[in-house]
């Protein structure tokens, strides 16, 4: 791996604030971001990345490469939950296996936003359509996870309402906002977009740093309990994202030459959802243990991807 990339990433202020959040928890500090403020910043990040992606998409030619990118993203969201489910069934119940598989098939919007910031820091261009790819990858994995649980559960009387879960996943706040912002950005003229550029662009990295501070605090609180669950869950939360991200970093070269797009595909394949999937699993799998699948995605996979994962995947993309 290029040590320059690793050093650049590890000295990124946003990432250092993430570590500060973890350290604050270990020191038992009362440092916290008010819940309402945290939610606002989360909404802002989704709005900003969606709007900027729409603007980029409006200046792009809608060609076969974009179509293949969208289809490849959906394929990843459908295939990852299936193969991970059968690995997880060796250790966990049907409900827990389905919930975890759905988490790792779906994507983390915050990881994607952090990856975009990393590309901007390295001055690497990417396509605006990748925001649409991310949004499309949220729901399919949730649907596959629910179908797997429904098919393999022993008690067929407790049927899962697939319609309710699909509707909930498609109307999830983060999915709706990022898709809506993407469409608005696509329709907005350059003149009108420049009027809100200070809000959508100039303050983005500052808000990202504060949000990652909050993510560090949240991860730090969940880390202690999670480590008590044994080595299997810890290794799964590292190895599966590493395999997915590395393979996709290579395979994506078959339909795009863009370094930035291939890197973002790798990040999307390696990330795990800790917002949309837990919300959907409350409806679909109340027996699944949120203290299992939520910390796996948030306390292990997320920190791994934004620290070591990003420079590693970019190195693989450049190598192939």
Q: Give pLDDT tens digits for 265-320.
A: 999 999 999 877 887 887 778 888 888 888 899 989 999 999 999 999 999 999 99
What percentage of the chain exceeds 90 in pLDDT? 51
- DSSP for 39-95 reads HHHHHHHHHHHHHHHHHHHHTS---HHHHHHHHHHHHHHHHHHHHHHHHHTTTS-HH
Is it the case that residue 253 has pLDDT exceeding 90? yes
Instruction: Return the closest-CA partner of residue 263 out of 300, 299, 315.
Output: 315
The stretch 225-236 carries a mean pLDDT of 83
The stretch 124-150 carries a mean pLDDT of 88
pLDDT of residue 158: 57
Is it the case that residue 202 has pLDDT exceeding 90? no
Show the CA angle centred on residue 144, arms to residues 142 and 146, nearest 5°: 70
What residue ranges define each of the domains in the chain, with the CATH number in brackets? 12-20+50-189+202-319 (1.20.1530.20)
The stretch 204-229 carries a mean pLDDT of 85
251 — pLDDT class (breaks 50, 70, 90)? very high
**Reported pTM:** 0.88
146 — pLDDT class (breaks 50, 70, 90)? confident
- Distance CA(246)–CA(35), nearest Å, equals 35
Q: Determine whether 200 is exposed, middle or buried from the number of CB atoms within 10 Å of its CB (0-12, 13-18, 19+).
A: buried
Long-range contacts of 193-197 (CB under 8 A, 24+ apart): 193/51, 193/55
Average pLDDT, the chain: 88
Q: At what angle do helices 129-136 and 259-270 cross, to 10 degrees?
A: 20
Q: What is the pLDDT of residues 68-120, one digit of tens each?
A: 999 999 999 999 999 999 999 999 999 999 999 999 999 998 899 999 999 99
1 — pLDDT class (breaks 50, 70, 90)? low
176 — pLDDT class (breaks 50, 70, 90)? confident
197 — pLDDT class (breaks 50, 70, 90)? confident
């Amino acid at each position: 791996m290029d040590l320059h990339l690793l050093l650049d990433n590890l000295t990124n202020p946003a990432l250092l604030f993430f570590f500060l959040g973890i350290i604050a928890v270990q020191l038992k500090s009362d440092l916290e971001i008010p819940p309402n403020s945290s939610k606002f910043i989360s909404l802002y990040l989704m709005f900003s990345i969606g709007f900027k992606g729409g603007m980029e998409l409006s200046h792009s030619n809608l060609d076969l490469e974009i179509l293949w990118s969208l289809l490849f993203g959906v394929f990843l969201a459908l295939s990852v939950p299936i193969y991970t489910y059968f690995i997880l069934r060796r250790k966990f119940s049907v409900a827990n296996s389905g919930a975890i598989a759905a988490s790792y098939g779906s994507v983390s919007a915050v990881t994607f936003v952090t990856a975009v910031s990393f590309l901007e820091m390295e001055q690497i261009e990417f396509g605006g359509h990748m925001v649409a790819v991310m949004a499309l990858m949220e729901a399919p994995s949730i649907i596959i996870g629910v179908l797997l649980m429904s098919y393999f559960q022993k008690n067929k009387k407790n049927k899962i309402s697939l319609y309710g879960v699909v509707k909930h996943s498609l109307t999830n706040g983060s999915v709706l906002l990022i898709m809506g912002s993407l469409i608005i950005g696509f329709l907005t003229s350059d003149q009108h977009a420049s009027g809100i550029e200070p809000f959508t662009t100039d303050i983005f990295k500052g808000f990202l740093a504060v949000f990652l501070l909050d993510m560090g605090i949240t991860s730090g609180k969940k880390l202690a309990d999670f480590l008590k669950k044994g080595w299997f869950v810890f290794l799964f939360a590292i190895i599966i994202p590493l395999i997915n991200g590395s393979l996709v970093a290579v395979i994506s070269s078959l339909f795009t030459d863009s370094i930035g797009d291939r890197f973002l595909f790798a990040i999307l394949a390696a990330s795990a959802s800790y917002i949309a999937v837990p919300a959907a699993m409350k409806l679909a799998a109340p027996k699944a243990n949120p203290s299992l699948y939520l910390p796996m995605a948030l306390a292990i996979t997320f920190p791994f991807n934004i620290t070591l994962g990003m420079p590693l995947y970019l190195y693989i993309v450049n190598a192939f």
